[in-house]
Chains A and B, each alone.
Chain A
């Protein structure tokens, strides 16, 4: 079992309010990812769950019992640190066995568990080495091994992949996912990389300035971001935003600014009835833009001037100027365009996002 509940968690450092009223229920066997820019309070939250940081107010409970006052060792959790934190003076075997020795496991039991974990992670032949004789990826595996030998109720990961190079990071990401499927232990994972968050998490918690912005499954965050911050943070390249004024003409709603004038699709228009004459922020993802023409003539279209063409092989990223705004479109690799070309683009009507200008909440 490994159910973690955060209830009204706050953290103050002197006058700084680092974590603000976080409420979250993490189910048993769930993989939850905290994601956000640096300084958003995600690591502090994780450290409070681990018991390394005191809670200013609120309750953290694991499997129904409040653990606020418990020492880290008594919470039955395991944590993997960003810099691995392998004990440099111990062999890989001893690193993995340390937690079991501290908990007075018998020698054969320790041996069995360490070898099991080493088999799972494919580090069986490294057991006698010292951490400094290992590569980055191997150290990462040992750090994971040290966490899994104990069979804890909850795994905590503090940006465990950010010290690895890009290729290894992708590989370890997949292995982490497999490991979680195999062990089924509840995992809480902190990262600033939205790709890691989207690929690993059963649910993702987006944080900013100590406040939880949205909690949801990866696709839910992608398709229905709760506010402009989540919309901009999730997805790569980031969502395009344009501030437009909503007006009514011939019974349909028009969104326009200096370089943009589009007829809003019905679904969006219905939501914006109350905003006629006001400004709103329009958001559309680069991958929801297509070169107009073959597409449905009903799609809202606008003109853009190409500034930069980025060939990625599988797609082309077009950096464009649309009136005063800069936008990015991700189009088919077959499209032939040049810098300074004028291009007419269409947006998929269902994937248009609208945000309040002031509160930045989704409308």
Chain B
């Protein structure tokens, strides 16, 4: 904290903090206000009488209703949830085992293999989708959820592996050695001791992976074509922007509803997740 006079606290802490919060929260506010504003207000020219862009006196649920009745938004939500959960689960299982192996088992080239895995994470998706599209087509997976469930791990597994490697390194080696003397095999020591201790790390890797796949856009745009297969980010942008007409109300309502599950996931695990990032293991 900042020491000294009250004005210093305001000048160097509260004021910058308030500006930061304003900057951070304004897009969300804009999203909320647009999604409950009637069309009549949304499409009014800026110089009309009584024009107030930041507030509305006539809130309406029309856009949300439109979203669920006139579009396949519910299906998109379900698709996104299903794809995000399954690809996160696959990536977590692989990431935890790979991270454990790379940080704990001494085998030749473990270090360079770890770096190699991280480098694959750095290959931009905008390049990777071209060869992946070929593969998806060859296996006839196009326009199915599996096209995403199987391609998301290409960036999620390196990410989870890297995160878990760091976390496993922070778990004292003696815990595992003690378990092995106590009568556990290497496998049991990992299952009963190392993984439970690493739960905060696993949770934060999971939340990150879930968010990444929930928000993913380019693969979903390329691999899915029929409206009923789409995910929220792709569905909302492709079905609610028709030509050069933006359906701002439903668009913002869709964006808002689409970000709620991620927000819930974060707030639910926030304590574990912070502990995971700071790598705190107390003996």
Please choose the segment from B94-102, B174-182, B207-215 that sits at the chain A interface, where 4 or more of its residues have CB less than 8 A away. Answer: B174-182
CA distance A87 to B175 in the complex (A): 6
Is B184 within 8 A of A73, CB to CB? yes
Chain A residue at smallest Cβ distance from B281? A88
Interface residues of B in 140-198 (CB under 8 A from A): 172, 174-175, 177-185, 188, 192-193, 196-197
> What per-residue 1/0 map shows which CB atoms of A98-116 lie under 8 Å from chain B?
1100110000000000000
Residue B243 at the A interface, CB < 8 A? no
Please choose the segment from A74-82, A268-276, A323-331 that sits at the chain B interface, where 4 or more of its residues have CB less than 8 A away. Answer: A74-82
Chain B residue at smallest Cβ distance from A77? B181
Chain A residue at smallest Cβ distance from B198? A89
Report how many residues on chain B are interfacial, defined by Cβ distance under 8 Å: 21
Is B181 within 8 A of A87, CB to CB? no
Whole-angstrom distance between the Cβ of A174 and the nearest chain B Cβ: 25
Partner of B172 from A52, A85, A132 at Cβ < 8 Å: A85
Contacts of A234 in B (CB 8 A): none
Is B183 within 8 A of A102, CB to CB? yes
Is A146 within 8 A of B182, CB to CB? yes
- Using A52-B177, A79-B178, A102-B188 as known contacts, say yes or no to A85 and B283 having CB atoms under 8 A apart: yes
Whole-angstrom distance between the Cβ of B124 and the nearest chain A Cβ: 39
Residue A72 at the B interface, CB < 8 A? yes
- Identify which of B193, B199, B283 gathers the most chain A CB atoms within 10 Å of its CB: B283
Is B282 within 8 A of A132, CB to CB? yes
Contacts of A72 in B (CB 8 A): 177, 180-181
Residue A86 at the B interface, CB < 8 A? yes
- Using A83-B283, A102-B188 as known contacts, say yes or no to A73 and B183 having CB atoms under 8 A apart: yes
- Using A86-B283, A87-B193 as known contacts, say yes or no to A81 and B177 having CB atoms under 8 A apart: yes
Contacts of B182 in A (CB 8 A): 73, 78, 98-99, 102, 146, 150
Interface residues of B in 266-283 (CB under 8 A from A): 281-283
CA distance A127 to B188 in the complex (A): 23
Residue A318 at the B interface, CB < 8 A? no
Whole-angstrom distance between the Cβ of A327 and the nearest chain B Cβ: 42
Residue A50 at the B interface, CB < 8 A? yes
Residue A145 at the B interface, CB < 8 A? no
Is A73 within 8 A of B180, CB to CB? yes
> What per-residue 1/0 map shows which CB atoms of A121-156 lie under 8 Å from chain B?
000000000011000000100000010001000000
> What per-residue 1/0 map shows which CB atoms of B119-147 lie under 8 Å from chain A?
00000000000000000000000000000
- Identify which of A79, A83, A102 gathers the most chain B CB atoms within 10 Å of its CB: A102
Whole-angstrom distance between the Cβ of A4 and the nearest chain B Cβ: 15
Chain B residue at smallest Cβ distance from A53? B177
Whole-angstrom distance between the Cβ of A121 and the nearest chain B Cβ: 17
Is B184 within 8 A of A102, CB to CB? yes
Contacts of B178 in A (CB 8 A): 79, 81, 85, 87, 146
Interface residues of A in 8-55 (CB under 8 A from B): 50-52
Give chain B's interface residues, CB within 8 Å of chain A: 172, 174-175, 177-185, 188, 192-193, 196-197, 199, 281-283
5 nearest CB pairs, A to B: A99-B182, A102-B183, A85-B174, A85-B178, A81-B174
Q: List 19 A-B contacts (CB under 8 A).
A: A50-B177, A52-B181, A71-B185, A72-B180, A73-B183, A78-B182, A81-B178, A83-B283, A85-B175, A87-B175, A87-B179, A88-B282, A88-B283, A89-B196, A98-B179, A103-B183, A131-B282, A132-B282, A150-B183
